[in-house]
Chains A and B, each alone.
Chain A
Amino acid sequence: DAGVIQSPRHEVTEMGQEVTLRCKPISGHNSLFWYRQTMMRGLELLIYFNNNVPIDDSGMPEDRFSAKMPNASFSTLKIQPSEPRDSAVYFCASSLQTDYGYTFGSGTRLTVV
């Protein structure tokens, strides 16, 4: 099993540009989570999906952020337009809804200059 796969690993972009982060969950997992990690705020849950349906997006900072899960094997997190304060490591994680543990991807380090 390849685990949760995130791409890209690193992204540097200019303020105002659109950024798209990608995630492939573990096959068979039906829950997917997007987290953001910064030194100041720690780990923040942005949004999560069960069976491809968004369940709770209350952690999405503002309308510039959007997330989709068109099928069970792919999800995207989009920031448009990006701002320097969006610089962080973004993690995707997946799990079985009835299970107790998450499997995290290696993260995407986003730098907005």
Chain B
Amino acid sequence: GDSVTQMEGPVTLSEEAFLTINCTYTATGYPSLFWYVQYPGEGLQLLLKATKADDKGSNKGFEATYRKETTSFHLEKGSVQVSDSAVYFCALRGSSNTGKLIFGQGTTLQVKP
């Protein structure tokens, strides 16, 4: 079945460092891909999405490109801030269009001043 695999955390960076969080997926057909962010004590929030191959999703300085050839959707940010400290989830929605999202295990990011 469909699945998502993220790099294990925690990821600890200094402020203004470059961020990459790896995400790869297994799915049949042409899934849609997402990144969600969860701040402490809150629910998940949609960060960005891409619905077809080679699409780039972007929001708040974060970017991810849908790479079908490598089945990847890595999250990047050029310069992280302390306020970016959170848990990041990669997710996919299969091509069956049921609306069901499958999440990766989450990667904790800690940014130090």
* Pairwise interchain contact A50-B99, C-beta atoms closer than 8 A: yes
Contacts of A91 in B (CB 8 A): 43-44
- Check A102 for interface membership: any CB of B closer than 8 A: yes
A105 close to chain B: CB less than 8 A:
yes
Contacts of A56 in B (CB 8 A): 98, 100
CA of A45 to CA of B34 in the docked complex: distance in angstroms? 16
Would you call the interface of chain A mostly helix, strand, loop, or mixed? strand
Question: Judging by beta carbons under 8 Å apart, are B99 and A106 in contact?
Answer: no
Q: Are A101 and B49 within 8 A (Cβ)?
A: yes
Q: How far is the CB of A93 from chain B (nearest CB, A)?
A: 8
- Minimum CB–CB distance for B23 against chain A, Å: 14
CB distance from B4 to the nearest CB of A (A): 11
Whether the pair A48, B99 counts as a contact (CB closer than 8 A) is: yes
Q: Are A106 and B49 neighbours in the complex by a CB distance under 8 Å?
A: no
Contact with A along B82-113 (1 / 0, CB 8 A): 00000001000100011111111110000000
Q: Decide: B103 and A31 in contact? CB cutoff 8 A.
A: no
Contact residues in A for B46 (Cβ distance below 8 Å)? 101-103
Asked if A80 CB lies within 8 Å of chain B CBs, one says no
Q: Which of B43, B97, B98 contacts A105 (CB 8 A)?
A: B43
Q: Which residues of B contact A (CB under 8 A)?
A: 32, 34, 41-46, 49, 51, 89, 93, 97-106
By a beta-carbon cutoff of 8 Å, the part of chain A in contact with chain B is 4, 31, 33, 42-43, 45, 48, 50, 55-56, 91, 93, 95, 97-98, 100-107
